A = this chain, B = another copy of it.
């Protein structure tokens, strides 16, 4: 029973963006960045791998630190997946002009008195890969742990921002009406919490849902959600929902929708379902046709799926670091890339403008004061107008329009909640932005 629960817990860590860090994940600094490097740990090496170096289901800990530092580059080896095809064209060129001054830039971590350098922040954050673009040129690029330029890394809830961007594309094109009720596209959700929600409310997560993400509670909704999305055959005595679509139909309403932002991954699955119904293609197909192929992504991407092949909209994408940066750079450029329009400018305007900070405030994100959430993206509402895609354990695509800077980062911080990694990353990003603006 514990194995099953822990396995679900682990699976859910892929999906959730909750602030709650529990004992299963809260092992901060058990091993530092160097000691937890999967090359040092020797996971999955040898023929066969020694029993204590194996990372695979049904062991319950394949998504817990430090094994997670290996797993994040190998998610497709854990379960069924679909690819996001890049097509057969050449990859788009990227220009590098490394700026060695960045390494020694210093900043003050949130809540600390002493400074830290950029380089020190990488280990503090268990960074697997980070890339900084300034005015479209790569000025910094770093890989560690399981990752290299040709590798891919779990994006976790950064996946949500890709989903939200696709939804905004359909809105800009008139295929999707964000003021319409969800049920206009998905009548099956009529009797669920989403039966009284608009498309905009699920996009902005201002729905009010009974959806318990308390990992310590074995009866929490999150377990049922995880079990529903598990693509492997269900146990004989399994009684729950058998896929994401089934699960969503049972989500109950809490209070009124539209009043406050509450981060619940199931909203993204609803957005994805709405996209599919509105357009006749699921968001993975849109990623291929509207982003991966026109952007000239250098690598295809992997997407985890449930037993019906439905993508894990809330967190199932693995992609290359440079490709994450390509996407961010396209957003920075208002939807343009290499002189071509990739997505409508209105998409970027809607996302970059952010949501309603008043609805966001009570959600309690201490590292994002004055922030907001819009179309599956996080807006900082800082002086630079920065906004970001964010995933647990430190995944990010951070866009700073004023500094003309994009940062793509993959990491494996031991605790899932970004509240623990933001203190040594958000001010670091600002320090780089300040430096680049002064060049």
Contacts and interface: CB of A to CB of B under 8 A. Distances in A.
Interface string A233-246: 11000000001010
A190 interface: no
A176 to B, nearest CB: 14
Interface residues of A, number: 42
B47 A276 contact: yes
Given A87-B150, A88-B91, A150-B87, A243 B48 contact: yes
A282 B49 CA distance: 12
A212 interface: no
Contacts of A276: 47
A54 B74 CA distance: 27
Nearest to A300: B300
A82 interface: yes
A77 interface: yes
Interface stretch (A31-39, A161-169, A220-228, A303-311): A303-311
Given A80-B76, A81-B77, A233-B58, A245 B47 contact: yes
B150 A49 contact: no
Q: Which of A76, A78, A282 has the most CB of B within 10 A?
A: A76
Interface in A38-56: 44, 47-49, 54, 56
Interface in A73-97: 74, 76-83, 85, 87-88, 90-91
Nearest to A91: B88
State how many copies of this chain the complex holds: 2
A121 interface: no
A122 interface: no
A273 interface: yes
Interface of A: 44, 47-49, 54, 56-58, 74, 76-83, 85, 87-88, 90-91, 149-150, 231-234, 243, 245, 273, 276-277, 282, 298-300, 305, 307-310
A54 B308 contact: yes
Nearest to A56: B307
Contacts of A282: 47
B77 A76 contact: no
30 contacts: A47-B245, A47-B273, A47-B276, A47-B277, A47-B282, A48-B308, A48-B310, A49-B308, A54-B308, A56-B231, A56-B307, A56-B309, A57-B232, A57-B307, A58-B234, A74-B309, A76-B76, A76-B80, A76-B83, A77-B80, A77-B81, A77-B82, A77-B305, A78-B80, A80-B80, A87-B150, A88-B150, A88-B298, A232-B233, A300-B300
